Chains A and B, each alone.
Chain A
Amino acid sequence: MRYLRAPAAFALALGLIASACGGGPGGTPTTSPGATGAAVSSEPFVMLSTQLNTVTESEALRAQILSGFTAAKVEFRGETAGPFADRIVAESKTKGTVGVVGGLHGDFGALDLNLFEDLTPLATKLKDRGFPAEFMELGKLGSTRQIYIPWMQATYILGVNKQALQYLPSGVSVDNITYAQLTQWCKNISDQTGRKRCGLPAGPMSLLHRLIQGYMYPAYTGGLVTTYKSAEAATLWRDLKDLWQYTNPQSLQIDFMQESLLSGEVWVGFDHVARLVKAFEGKPNDFVAAPAPKGPKGLYYMSVLAGLGIPKSSANKTGAEAFIDYMTTTAVQAKTLTTVAFFPVLTQALPADLPPHLKLMADGVQKQAKHADAKVALLPIGLGAKGGEFNKVQLDTFQRIVIKNEDIQKVLNEQATILQAVMNDSKAPCWRPDPPSTGPCQVK
């Protein structure tokens, strides 16, 4: 069952998180006894992860979370997706030091699923934790085996400096704004302050492709792959070109919006919550968090799920299982939120007394999830190793239309051909919001 009912679960989970943040019943942190029953080996192992791989995040994880796991010594190694995949493949051919891996849904999907242990017994053991059922289903990646156990989740929102609010188009609320109104807002700021202070993360390590895939395309076209060269898509790109005129030109170097928000170069920034958190943390009184803008087809947003898996070459399987057990206890889930600003997958893990910056962000996430027009888009599913080339299609389309001013429909037609080749190579069926397909998803 590739085509999941996950959107509902995402919306539900984020909604629950948000209501818990809003002062609702928070879970009482508990600690958990040992893992799956087998004696836990104390053999040290490496945790390889594509998440939390910046220096500050890694340090926080080591000092505040890994230090609490005492069964075996765990060394954290943050990597980008390429070396992450290479190391897992390389270690599968020899004896490795990696015991457990942490990555996004797509990081697991990019690899041969047979490289991973089936975690179904562990999942059964951890059943009472209260993982949303659809998260567990996503963790199977369409197979019958549990490839990963859900670990953390996140989404993308707007970080807004309060100074920008006075320039909002009249009658428009920051919590309910269309892409066209966002452009007008950015134009007002640019005209009246003389500086372009809206920001899109479009640097080489940015997540711009996710904003295009999970927010803009669905909001304008109601799809992504099937509607790639549609008339609605052409409108989207025209509007994005418009917005870009009033966007800080340094956006092409911005990978994380938080630094630009903090320095004041950007007043309105659209990014992943973990890439906004330092702005909220540094100056909680200066910022508000707002939902993503909406388009003609609604407010689409992408929910990001990270999981923990155990490679078959694991240096310490019992240790790794005990580690996943530890990382998904309510206490550690709550601590993950407060140390690295990724939201827990266990909705009851939210502490009632969140620090101000997390409260701000949780409010933004809540407004987004509960918005009347809110709909969830999924991360690409089933692309395997073609995930990178899939992202490149959107990034190249952006470069050609927005930066190089090429003809919109011509670029869309050409990029759609490349996109179709990627879909055919990976044989990936459509995922939401595209309607389900038998066989590879087809551009219409």
Chain B
Amino acid sequence: MAVRAGRALPFPARIARSENALPLGLLAPTIIFLTLLILIPVAQAVLLSFQAVPGTLGFEAYRRMVTDVAFADSLRNTLLLLVLVVPVQLVLALAMALLIHSRFPGHGAFLYIFALPLAISDLAAGIVWLSIFADTGYLNSALSGLGLTKDPINFLSYENLHLVLGTVIVAESWRATAIVLVILLAGLQLIPREYFEAADLFGASRLKRTLLIVLPMLRPSLQSALIIRTIFAFQTFAVVLALAGRQLPVLSYEAYDWYYNNRNEFIAAAFAALILLMTMTVVFFYLRLLRVKDAEIQR
């Protein structure tokens, strides 16, 4: 290939020579991975949700989904959990992150204690909390041991769904606050010390430092944490299943139930597509709402 070597190179070689080669090469494994294991299956699942009537494309699976007995409840419960759990976790995680970041003596131990739930699987966490909240569970034993109650309190009864929801919120907050904490702590540690030193110089109070330096500088981390937590909240499954059984249906349980128990992959796919759509909508709003402008990054 002696003639006009630079321009006549075949396509791959041309890329290899260009300055995009390194970034593209580094991105390639991720792109291949995401395409094979995420994008294609997602597309297949969405397609499946339109194929309930053999040989045609249509909304039959969606029609059956929205007319299902548990649909309205599962949608409401999923949104309710999202609205109640995510803010609680965010506030808790922020408080815990600030506590550890203040570097008081022994803060390392706190990090380990706070991060412990990360190591436990969802279902195991659910079962642990079940053993606490059951009629003959640890909480009721403790309450009656202290002479505070005569008969056990039925925390998990369908007769009082608020209490059931409360136990799920407690269990979910315990289980998944740690992931938010880790993200926020990493974000905190990225804030340059100069800002704090400058604030000290001007005599800023702790509250002012938190409001005017920490929170604005933490916005990218808050964004990531919120997105991750929201996605998880839409997928909440095992903890709810262990604590509430069928009393508190959520969307992901319905998808599971239609696939595994009712053996109808089309309606299961419709539920999954709905979860996907809701997740994408919420994430879109987060990205708009908490947008980090280029100018802010360069500042």
Contact = CB atoms under 8 A, between A and B. Distances in A.
A194 B241 CA distance: 28
A426 to B, nearest CB: 11
B158 interface: yes
A264 B263 CA distance: 36
A99 B262 CA distance: 26
Given A250-B135, A265-B136, A403-B158, A82 B151 contact: no
A399 B158 CA distance: 11
A26 interface: no
Contacts of A385: 263
A37 interface: no
B259 A252 contact: no
A386 B263 contact: yes
Interface in A388-444: 388-389, 391-392, 395-396, 399-400, 403
B210 interface: no
Interface in B237-286: 241, 243-247, 253, 257, 259-264
Contact of B245 (A80, A82, A110, A204): A204
Contact of B247 (A80, A252, A395, A396): A252
Interface string A64-90: 000000000000000011110100000
B264 A194 contact: no
**A contact patch SS:** helix
B79 interface: no
Nearest to B240: A204
Given A110-B263, A194-B151, A250 B69 contact: no
A370 interface: no
Interface string B41-78: 00000000000000000000000000001100000000
A249 B157 contact: yes
A250 B246 contact: no
A392 B244 contact: no
B136 to A, nearest CB: 5
Interface size class for chain B? 20 to 34
B246 A252 contact: yes
A82 to B, nearest CB: 3
A82 B261 contact: yes
Given A263-B136, A399-B69, A399-B70, A252 B245 contact: yes
A388 B136 contact: no
A195 B263 contact: no
B246 A388 contact: no
A195 B135 CA distance: 11
Interface string B132-156: 0011100000000000000100101
A392 B245 contact: no
A400 B241 contact: no
A387 B244 CA distance: 25
A50 to B, nearest CB: 11
Given A204-B241, A204-B245, A253 B156 contact: yes
Contact of B69 (A204, A248, A396): A396
Interface residues of A, number: 31
Contacts of B247: 252-253, 403
A83 B154 contact: no
Given A110-B263, A252-B158, A263-B136, A202 B246 contact: yes
B19 interface: no
A369 B135 CA distance: 35
Contacts of A34: none
A221 to B, nearest CB: 22
Contacts of B246: 202-204, 252, 395, 399
Contacts of A253: 130, 156, 243-245, 247
A371 B257 CA distance: 37
Contact of B260 (A80, A248, A265): A80
B262 A389 contact: yes
A392 B260 CA distance: 12
B159 interface: yes
B242 to A, nearest CB: 8
B136 A264 contact: yes
Contacts of B154: 249-250
A248 B158 CA distance: 10
- Which of A81, A249, A253, A392: most chain B CB closer than 10 A? A253
A218 B184 CA distance: 60
Nearest to B248: A252
Nearest to A390: B262
A400 B261 contact: no
A401 to B, nearest CB: 11
B134 A250 contact: yes
B158 A388 contact: no
A250 B263 contact: no
Contacts of A396: 69-70
A249 B158 contact: yes
A250 B157 contact: yes
A302 to B, nearest CB: 19
B268 to A, nearest CB: 10
A116 B239 CA distance: 38
A249 B263 CA distance: 29
Given A110-B263, A249-B154, A385-B263, 11 more contacts: A82-B260, A249-B157, A249-B159, A250-B135, A253-B156, A253-B244, A263-B136, A264-B136, A265-B136, A389-B264, A400-B69
Interface of B: 69-70, 130, 134-136, 151, 154, 156-159, 241, 243-247, 253, 257, 259-264
23 contacts: A82-B260, A202-B245, A204-B245, A250-B154, A250-B156, A252-B247, A253-B130, A265-B135, A265-B136, A388-B262, A388-B263, A389-B262, A389-B263, A389-B264, A391-B262, A392-B261, A395-B246, A396-B69, A396-B70, A399-B69, A399-B70, A400-B69, A403-B247
The 7 residue pairs across chains A and B that have the minimum distance between CB atoms: A82-B260, A249-B157, A388-B262, A388-B263, A253-B245, A396-B69, A203-B245
